[in-house]
Structure 1
Amino acid sequence: MVYNFRVFKKQSPNGKLTMYLGKRDFVDHISGVEPIDGVVVIDDDYKNRKIFGQVICSFRYGREEDEVMGLNFQKDLFLVSEQLYPLPEKSVTTKLQDRLMRKLGDNCYPFTFILPPSAPASVTLQPGSEDEGQPCGVHYYVKLFVGENETNRSHKRNAVMMGIRKVQFAPTKQGRQPCTVVRKDFMLSPGELELEVTLDKQLYHHGEKITVNICVRNNSNKIVKKIKVMVQQGVDVVLFQNGQYRTSVASIETQEGCPIQPGSSLQKVVYLQPLLSSNKDHRGIALDGQLKKQDLNLASTTLLASPDQRDAFGIIVSYAVKVKLYLGALGGELSAELPFVLMHPKPNSKGKLIQSDSQADVETFRQDTIEPDVDEDKYD
């Protein structure tokens, strides 16, 4: 029986090393990250050489075109570095590796890398229209190379590197319904202005509309002239002390129901849909880590086991709905914020089975399921 499996393949420039991975997205479950399992096929000419493997977390925090006079705006962290061949001892293999080794022959050797739980998520910052080169953000690579030891600087001709992503999926349970009430009183004026904001739920999937329920109670002598509702994306570049900024990714401004006179109230429902398609020109917006032939979308919320678990290489992404009441030049403003979670749902069971280690053994692969990866190497 023939099954159709998707396998990613990449070969070194001299054709002596070939890497195979069953997938390129590895899920962070907060408590741990899925192991990176694959195989390497070694040419007979390299059977007397040592083969090493590494997982590199690369953080680019500046544009390549600005790297002049020795400046370098990229830091690399080697999360894993191991000898793959000759194997110091026989390792435990997954069923995916077993199937690949039966298919690819005696020169095929397995490898498995374990990422630390605190490793940052794959995030790309949207470049400007005139920016060139690799975009800023956190990128991951699996690198295999020939050398005498794992600290050797490898030659590009006998090294192979493939980009991967560390991703998170939405929890299965909703949290508490977000709700907040803010009030503002005014000097030399009786009464206060009250703003209540409620979201229909805490967890949204990409592409969903966000329902914002607004209730304004004006017990002051001020007049509410207009209302603005925004979805703001917060980006915290942990490497820098002042690396926090916010960008509006969806907004609506309305005067419907306004002005709200003293003693009056207003109940209103607003719908917002944060999408990348309406933010193509916003430089610096956080996007999910990018792999070739994949559609881009806004970055997912970064889930942390604890607020203190922030890797120095990381980019922390968060979202909040902000409602602002405008009271005119003398009255000022009143605003309220509600954080929420925006993520991708977990893949369905059918998608999981394609890559699952619990599948029945197969003896053959269809040739068109092994996909070559032809991205240019980012390292010498």
Structure 2
Amino acid sequence: MRVIGLVVHLHYLCKPETLISLTGKSRTVGNERRAVGGVTAYKYWPWKPASTHSLTEATHNTTTTDRQTDRMSPKRVIYKKLSRDKSVGVYMGKRDFVDHCDFVDPVDGVVLVDPEQVKGKKVYVMLSCTFRYGREDMDVMGMVFRRDIFLCSRQVYPPLQDKERSVHTKVQEKILRKLGDNAYPFFFEFPDNLPCSVCLQPGPTDVGKHCAVEFEVKAFCAENQDEKAQKRSSVRLAIRKIQYAPDTGGAAPSADTTCEFIMSDKPLHMRVSLEKETYYHGEEINISVDIDNSSNRNVKDLSVSVEQVTNVVLYSNDKYVKTVAYEDTMDTVPSGTSLKKVYTLCPLLDNNRERLGLALDGKLKHEDTNLASSSVVKDEVLKEILGMLVAYRVVVKCNAAGIVGSSEVAVEVPFKLMHPKPDPESEDTVDLVFEEFKRSYLKGVIGDDDESPAEP
């Protein structure tokens, strides 16, 4: 009875803390369990737990003064993934890495090692960029529709240099403090000529990997880095290399055409213009159409559309042209009249999810991707290395009908579709929230063998 009374007394005197479960196992510590950042969190009382080197018993403590302070304190999501045998785990502060044209964000993170599971082997981390053209079951007769564009590996355990010299960011420092002595940092830099993440959308019934440029961080245990890693002792995390819209855009694009017809003394002139060169994903595009019909023909069937043009340049010269926004107007321009009107379109993935062959930004979860951003080709970079090139254009079409038949008139105006540059993220965060890093939610990646869940 005295022991129970002491526990109850501590229940009211001690400040609650939060324990983040690395393995995702469901268990109760104290009297309350809740979810934080997609993983299981528990409230417990701050006596010191038994120390251990096992990944399955690693704990992360975050002290808060009260609920209001907990809500107001800034959070930093840390993405984590463990191998099936719990020998290695990878922790990264972000999964999107930005190409600023003059430099690319480096890839950094932390590897957590269980020395008892490793048993004298070495632990390596590898960064890779891969271009795949076709499904994996098409790799027959020695012909593989896959090419490694970039590979780079580092040995992290046993460490080749002091931890202090290997740490490059404040987030790494905080993760290392959370994880303890068996955590080791890693750091990679992208070369200047790598493409950005992009993939072609599979059909509703398609399963497996298809045409895509993918980036991946892989940690594994082996005797040496050339040895084939066992799946149960390795962990693979998909990341993305993306680009944001430049700070300064070019001139507002426009195009026009003049058509002369048989038995018509005067021509038909059509001009199409946009307000700016670069638009953001989800932003409406105002399209100004100016038609001066001085000919003896009547203009009808006026349509306005946005097309995505994808060129696969590494293995072949395949070209995919997909309409991602469309409006069939009822406007006509009789002979001797003119038309000045602004049409509005908004290209969105939500309206095109069932379309096969549509280029998307690299996928990490089914809900966080979008139409692929426009490709920005740097100077002195071979286009073939980029794998796939994506461009957008506005197309305005109409039919000029006359006595001897009708003729199609079309005007194309190119533009860029990109993400806006976000505000810089501060590294001076108070709390780290650990979130499971999985790709099992991907549409079309059911049964992907690169999945290494926290639970066996």
Say yes or no: does 1:84 pair with 2:151. Answer: no
Which deviates more from structure 2 when the two are superposed, residues 228-237 or residues 55-64?
55-64
Structure 2 matches for 1:1-380, cutoff 5 A? Answer: 4-45=75-116, 46=118, 48-67=120-139, 72-90=144-162, 91-93=165-167, 94-187=169-262, 189-256=264-331, 258-261=332-335, 263-292=336-365, 294-306=367-379, 308-328=381-401, 330-349=405-424, 352-353=425-426, 356=427, 359=428, 365=431, 369-375=433-439, 377-378=449-450
Shift of 1:281: 2.2
Partner of 1:191, secondary structure, is coil
Shift of 1:181: 1.8
Task: Report the Cα distance in structure 2 between the residues aligned to 1:64 and 1:327, rounded to whole angstroms.
Answer: 48
Shift of 1:293: 5.9
Higher RCO structure, 1 or 2 (CA under 8 Å, sep 6+): 1
Whether the 8 Å CA contact 1:38–1:112 is kept in 2: the answer is yes
Which deviates more from structure 2 when the two are superposed, residues 212-221 or residues 80-89?
80-89
Normalising by structure 2, we get a TM-score of: 0.75
Q: What per-residue deviation string (whole Å, max 9, x for no partner) do you get for residues 291-347 of structure 1?
A: 126433211112222385425352211111011121238331121111111111122
Partner of 1:312, secondary structure, is helix
Whether the 8 Å CA contact 2:124–2:156 is kept in 1: the answer is yes
Which deviates more from structure 2 when the two are superposed, residues 160-169 or residues 83-92?
83-92
Normalising by structure 1, we get a TM-score of: 0.89
RMSD: 2.3
Q: Structure 1 65/340 Cα, relative in aligned 2: closer, same or farther at 3 Å?
A: same
Task: Report the Cα distance in structure 2 between the residues aligned to 1:151 and 1:285, rounded to whole angstroms.
Answer: 37
Task: Report the Cα distance in structure 1 between the residues aligned to 2:436 and 2:353, rounded to whole angstroms.
Answer: 30
Partner of 2:383, secondary structure, is coil
Shift of 1:241: 3.7
* Identity level (%): 40
Task: Report the Cα distance in structure 1 between the residues aligned to 2:366 and 2:204, rounded to whole angstroms.
Answer: 20
Task: Report the Cα distance in structure 1 between the residues aligned to 2:144 and 2:451, rounded to whole angstroms.
Answer: 13
Task: Report the Cα distance in structure 1 between the residues aligned to 2:365 and 2:226, rounded to whole angstroms.
Answer: 29
Task: Report the Cα distance in structure 1 between the residues aligned to 2:137 and 2:315, rounded to whole angstroms.
Answer: 21
Whether the 8 Å CA contact 2:194–2:385 is kept in 1: the answer is no
Task: Report the Cα distance in structure 1 between the residues aligned to 2:386 and 2:154, rounded to whole angstroms.
Answer: 22
Determine the structure 1 residue equivalent to 2:24. Answer: none
Shift of 1:65: 4.9
Whether the 8 Å CA contact 2:121–2:222 is kept in 1: the answer is yes
Q: Which amino acid aligns with 1:151?
A: D
Shift of 1:177: 1.0
Whether the 8 Å CA contact 1:260–1:266 is kept in 2: the answer is no
Question: Which structure 1 segments of 5+ residues have no match?
Answer: none
Shift of 1:59: 2.2
Shift of 1:58: 2.5
Whether the 8 Å CA contact 2:92–2:110 is kept in 1: the answer is yes
Task: Report the Cα distance in structure 2 between the residues aligned to 1:71 and 1:240, rounded to whole angstroms.
Answer: 12
Shift of 1:66: 4.3
Whether the 8 Å CA contact 2:320–2:357 is kept in 1: the answer is no
Equivalent pairs, count: 367
Question: Which structure 2 segments of 5+ residues have no match?
Answer: 1-62, 65-73, 440-447
